[in-house]
Structure 1
């Protein structure tokens, strides 16, 4: 596959960002919790990872910890593999897709869901996924084996899932190269002001405040954080290098789509995301350093 036109710097990142966020609205939705509960999944920790891990099949906690990177193994082990004795991955994936359908209809409205713009975005996003690669990308590869829904809003959500996981798998390679362990990665990302706040991360990823503080101390010793927990100049450079490496590893789908279509998909994705956010898609306490 060849590039159709040169991309501006960070165009892929700017395109992926709203699509990633639009994808993630499902995991914060009441519809998702309801659909999992209908399967008998009522463990409060399960929803944060079981919907994504189901694409990998009946795997145990070791595989999930490796593929997700920043979840505590002990948290995962409380849920898996025991969950697979009562429910199948296919049932979980079905529940997730039903939740996506219900949540997107609620957040965007039926008129937007049925719009020409939605169909256009779905077609562009699915075309971008044609240039994604499976090599060393377990979460992307697992989701790429799933069928594409035949209605545009779910096709867009599926394509956003593929593009999210493709970038995410590459991001983990960048974190490893940078020498950040799972908690250090979370702490340093939060210090940028763009990550989830510590209270949210500690609760959903299974780490303790002691784990968080110890990671912050290691980052201070390394010169990544200052005494107040802010990124140093070296820390800012480290996080920028991680994102630049991630961009490079995730270039293919956007280069394949071409600059004009990437710009259009970014515009459409941002519009849908703004509508969803205005409808209350995300909790107020999700992002920040607090």
Structure 2
């Protein structure tokens, strides 16, 4: 194990491209095709089944709790009914096929067969060795899955472990900060780095009235101003949330060491840029409006 001191924010900077690489399949037509072949066709059912399958055939309550920022009645429209359409094991296999097709299309065969991809997989898997299971349901469920043999799929698997590990910790911090699921989204969107309201309302089950009510609650707390922008107190709260999330997510990156983290960040950033350039994400996904 390497114990080199990390630079501030090194883990967060490494997480961002890993998270982007993981997320490519959510917007991929390959996922819709593979899930459609199982009989799962509604976009929300595809999303819930794909991400929750590692948990097994759980009910709506478990999915709402683990996902945090979806309206529960939307989840309940599709879960647990989706498990009567396809078994979680079949969903997981379909997801991996979709990821394989997506990465081949976005990155190309040369990148998938490269020494850099194999190196990225090794580094990310090494970092994931230090992830903790306690109070991290999505990470822990994915940690029970086998590591794929192909380097690009092993890399995606490790990126998923690191993404869900940070995400589970992040939800604990949001709860401690007194931000419910929609308030967390509204404040993130207000930073300019979260999903646009249009995408949130289209995918999370919330209405405009729900959004406006959350905005009003945040104004009453002094976190948003009259224009819906973060106040100084709101900016400070978001910064505190990210710093505490960093602290809870530090172990994998300390385990990998400063040199390994820097190298994994560089490799992951290059792959993430290539995927984005190839059209992995909708152009209107991120922003305040």
TM-score, normalization by structure 2:
0.99
Report SS of the residue matched to 1:227: coil
Whether contact under 8 Å (2:138, 2:164) holds in the other structure is yes
Structure 1 residue matching 2:230: 3-state secondary structure: coil
CA distance in 2, matches of 1:3, 1:216: 45
Cα displacement string for residues 226-254 of structure 1 (whole angstroms, at most 9, x for unaligned residues) = 00000000000000000000000000000
Equivalent residues in 2 for 1:222-261, closer than 5 Å: 222-261=221-260
Match of 1:106 in 2: 105
Is 2:275 the partner of 1:284?
no
1:11 maps to which residue?
10
Could you say which residue in structure 1 is the equivalent of 2:266? 267
For residues 12-37 of structure 1, the C-alpha deviation after alignment (integer angstroms, 9 at most, x for no partner) is 00001000011100110000111000
Aligned to 1:41: 40
Matches within 5 A, 1:10-29: 10-29=9-28
1:13-162 equivalent positions in 2, closer than 5 A: 13-162=12-161
CA distance in structure 2 between the aligned counterparts of 1:75 and 1:37, rounded to whole angstroms: 20
Distance 2:47 2:96 in 1: 15
Q: Is the 8 A contact 1:51 1:92 kept in 2?
A: yes
> Secondary structure of the residue that 1:136 maps to in structure 2?
coil
TM-score (norm 1): 0.99
Aligned partner of residue 160 in structure 2, secondary structure: helix
Aligned to 1:220: 219
Gapped regions of structure 1 (runs ≥ 5)? none
How far apart in 2 are the matches of 1:38 and 1:267? 37
Q: 1:86 to 1:49 in 2, by over 3 A?
A: closer
Cα distance in 1 between the residues matched to 2:158 and 2:184: 26
Q: By how many angstroms is 1:124 displaced?
A: 0.2
Equivalenced residue count is 289
Q: Return the offset for 1:3.
A: 5.1
CA distance in 2: counterparts of 1:270 and 1:96, whole angstroms: 23
Alignment root-mean-square deviation, CA: 0.7
Deviation at 1:132, TM superposition (A): 0.3
